[in-house]
Structure 1
Amino acid sequence: MALSEQARADFVGAYTRTLIAAWSNEEFAAKLESDPRPALAENGIELPADAKIKVDRSDPSDGHQGTLDTQVALFEEGQKTGVYEFHIPTSPQVDMAELNEDELAGVAGGDFYCCPCCCCT
C-alpha cells in the first residue's frame, strides 16, 4: 500500500530524525542496533508489535546505500509483509571536494547541507 502524501512526509521526517540521532548519539545508535523498535518509536516510527525489524548499519562507502525513495518503498513493503528494513548508514558522507564555494560557506556558516547519503536523494 502506497503512503499518502502526508504519511510519506511524516515517515521521511521520522526517518531523518532517526538518522541524525544515530549519527550524533552513540548510545542511541547502540540501542537502534540492539532494540530497534523503541529506538525507532522515539523518533516517530511506530511499528506493529509483531513486526520483524532489520536495521542495516553498513557504511555507505561500501556501495550499499539506498535513496530516500528506496527507504520509503521498504517501509511500504513492510506494511504489506510485516518485515521492516531500515538503512541507517554508520555516518553521514559529505564529500567536501564536490562542494562549490557557496555550499562550503553555508556549511561553515551553519546552513543545512544535504549529504549524498540515502536520506536526501
Structure 2
Amino acid sequence: MSPMEPDGRAVFVNGYTKILTGAWSSEEFSLRLEADPVSVLAENGLAVEAGSRVDIVRIRDGEPDLQTQMQLWEIGRRSGHYVLYVPELPQLDVRDLADEELGGLAGGGGTSYCCNPCCCQS
C-alpha cells in the first residue's frame, strides 16, 4: 500500500482533528456523527464517494494511532468501506482531594509568589 501524499495527509489530519475535537466537545456533534457520518465527514473536509459505508468506532483497544487511521482511510478509499476511530474522551480521575492537596493546588504550599517585585515593597 502506498503512503498518503503530503497534501492528502494534511487534509486528512485537519479533518480528522476537527471530527475528534467536535465529538469530544459537543454531544450534539457526536450524535450527528453517529447518525449521519457521511455528511459530518464531508462538512469537516473528509468527503467519501457516494454509496460508501462509514463505520464510526468509539471504543478501541490500545492507544489511537494516526498512522493506522490514515492507512484505514486509504483502504476505505479503495474499498468504499471506511472505518474511523473516534474514541470517547478519556475520563479524569475524579476523587476527593485531601486538604493538603487542595492547599497545594491553591498555591498554599508555604511559597509566596509575586508577579511584580515592586508591588510587594512599600
Same fold (TM over 0.5): yes
Unaligned 5+ runs, structure 1: 96-121
Separation of aligned partners in 2, 1:14 and 1:48: 16
- Segments ≥4 residues shifted beyond 4 Å: 92-95
Give the alignment's TM-score, normalised by structure 1: 0.69
Q: In structure 2, do the counterparts of structure 1 residues 41 and 19 end up closer, same or farther at CA, with 3 Å as the change threshold? A: same
Separation of aligned partners in 2, 1:73 and 1:18: 17
Separation of aligned partners in 2, 1:34 and 1:15: 17
Matches within 5 A, 1:1-121: 2-58=3-59, 63-92=61-90
- Shift of residue 92, structure 1, vs aligned partner: 4.4
Give the alignment's TM-score, normalised by structure 2: 0.68
Query: What fraction of aligned residue pairs are identical, expressed as a percent?
Result: 39
- Shift of residue 82, structure 1, vs aligned partner: 0.8
Unaligned 5+ runs, structure 2: 94-122
Larger radius of gyration: 2
Q: In structure 2, do the counterparts of structure 1 residues 93 and 79 end up closer, same or farther at CA, with 3 Å as the change threshold? A: farther
Q: Which has the higher contact order (CA 8 A, sep 6+)?
A: 1
